Amino acid sequence: MKILAVKDATGVMEPLPGFVTTRTDGSDGARSLKVTGVKTKNNQSGYNLVKNENTLIFDNEEYIIKTHRERTYRKGVGVEVTAIHRIFDDLMNNYIYEEKTGTLRLDAMLSFALAGSGYTFEIDTTDLPISVRVENFGWNNSLALFRDILEKFGAEFDYRGKKIYVAKKFGIQRDDSFLRYKFNVKDPQKEIDTSSFSTYIRGYGKKDEKGNYLFVEYKSPLAEFYGIKHADPVKDERYTDKESLLAAMKKQLNDSMDISLTFTAIELKSMGLSDIKKGDYVWCVIEPFDLNVQLRAVSREDYSDESKSPTFTFGSIAKKASDIIASFNTTKKAVDKVIDTSTGKIKDSAINMNGIATKAELQSHISNTVVHITAEERATWNAASNSLDNLDSITWATPILKNGWVQYPDQSWNYPIQYGKDFVGTVYLRGAISSGTIGNAIPAFTLPVGYRPPFPYLFIGVSSVSPDGIPQYFRGVVTPSGDVCIENSSSAELSNQFIGIYTQFKAV
């Protein structure tokens, strides 16, 4: 049993016996804890320290509590909290007050972005670009700059303690073993993600002498099957010819579908796969459709109860447009072998007598409306989809300001405070406010249901310029209950004269 403890800001540390911990090591490098427990005589000292911004210590790593929910039971009280790994909190709260422009090497950009954070780094340069061109890189927190660096260089990262490791890829190729996805595997979880799926994109390059943009549009071959689904346009005046602009557009367009499978470590061992680590690649045969693909272990979840088997999520199979189109015909042929199209029933001849699946199991799978949509559901979705001219369209609304906050007075009226949400669930906040009360749990305004994040969303923005002309900043938070609070400002004299809120997040 791994030990869980809690530590407050003064360094007082207490164990948390009886608490249940789930640790997630996610696909984007994020590690987090979900911890639940009931207050008892054995843990009451530690229980009283389980509060926001205190530190949980699990398996010799520190996590900062970000959400806290307490509830009463018939025989006492309990708590449920989530916490993020300390590295993300540290980097988010370290700000870089300068910028760089030019062609920079990876090590130089990392040194710049992590300056003052207390973190060091080590780079495996294999298959990574030597340098990239950047414009106005800086004036942001270290975490945002670090993420930007990874995207620019196409790199991944890992970390232990105060050291960050950067490489093209982590993990190994497991060519000796095959993961076989069969219908008779014990309750595997299968997910197909099209949330960022698009089939159409526009590009705008450099303006000509008449003020007209270089314009290119591209429609994926998948538009014939799924209709026009708009992606964010590429708008960059560095592109002066259609070929380079089109290449950038195709790179940005996500006309692929992501598939992921989740198994427990016990199930993997039974299939001949042991000692799997996050980042490893394995070959997967998905039956009965003869789909042979290479999957990657993109996330791992383990538990304080070591008798409970860890789970691994393998994915994603990024099926590009050409592969998906080709699969329409091959899948139809495979289905025709299994399904009697005149009755809709499973053919007896399709059943593998060696135990791939029984007829009843396969029929149950096909009839499962949780994983298969009905014709009526498809019609409803198509009607909703076809009614949208643009997935990026946003309807803006004005919130009701409170606690002394007012719309920032500006004669040009360039800063109206507004919120809105696009079709895929991204909430946008924009505008400027003034004169209200700054502090924790003191909302400037409250977002309605449907416009709220699943976890507290922290952001940094521009605030009033100090009397000596130095730019200032503030830290804000959007809570799961929709409260938008300005927690503090670096400007002591004019802290609330101008608060510019320009941020976005995914709503629940």
Distance CA 167, CA 153 (A): 10
CATH class of segment(s) 395-506 = mainly beta
Cis bond upstream, residue 385 (ω within 30): no
Which pLDDT value is given to residue 286? Answer: 54
User: What CATH code is assigned to 94-167?
Assistant: 3.55.50.40
For the chain, 508 residues long, give each residue's pLDDT as a single digit of tens: 678 999 998 999 999 999 999 988 876 778 899 999 999 988 999 999 999 999 999 988 899 999 999 988 777 899 999 999 999 999 999 999 999 999 999 999 999 999 999 999 999 999 899 999 988 899 999 999 999 999 899 898 988 889 999 998 887 665 554 555 443 333 444 444 555 668 899 999 999 888 899 999 998 877 776 678 888 899 988 888 888 889 888 888 865 555 566 666 556 665 566 666 766 767 666 554 445 566 676 777 777 777 777 776 766 544 444 444 444 444 444 445 444 555 544 444 444 433 344 445 445 555 555 545 555 656 555 555 544 445 557 888 999 999 999 988 876 656 889 999 887 788 999 999 998 999 888 999 999 998 999 888 999 888 887 777 777 889 999 999 999 999 988 877 778 888 999 999 988 7
Q: Which two tokens stand for residue 105?
A: 């090497």
Which pLDDT value is given to residue 368? Answer: 56
Which pLDDT value is given to residue 332? Answer: 46
Pairing of strands 163-167, 120-123: parallel
Which pLDDT value is given to residue 53? Answer: 93
Query: In terms of Cα–Cα distance, which of 242, 302, 355 is closest to 32?
Result: 302
- Those residues whose C-beta lies under 8 Å from the C-beta of residue 229, and which sit 6 or more positions away, are 197, 198, 199, 200, 223, 385, 391
Asked if the domains 94-167 and 395-506 are classified in one and the same CATH topology, the answer is: no
Beta bridge partners of 462: 473
Q: Residue 186: how many CB atoms within 10 A of its CB?
A: 9
Phi/psi region, residue 211 (left: phi>0; alpha: psi -120 to 50; beta: rest), is left
Extents of the domains making up the chain: 4-88, 94-167, 198-255, 395-506
Cis bond upstream, residue 288 (ω within 30): yes
Which amino acid, one-letter code, is at 266?
A: I
DSSP 162: T
Sign of CA dihedral 384, 386, 392, 393: negative
- How much is the pTM? 0.48
Distance CA 283, CA 273 (A): 11
Distance CA 65, CA 6 (A): 10
Which pLDDT value is given to residue 444? Answer: 94
Which pLDDT value is given to residue 330? Answer: 44
Which pLDDT value is given to residue 98? Answer: 94
CA atoms within 13 A on the CB side of 98: 8
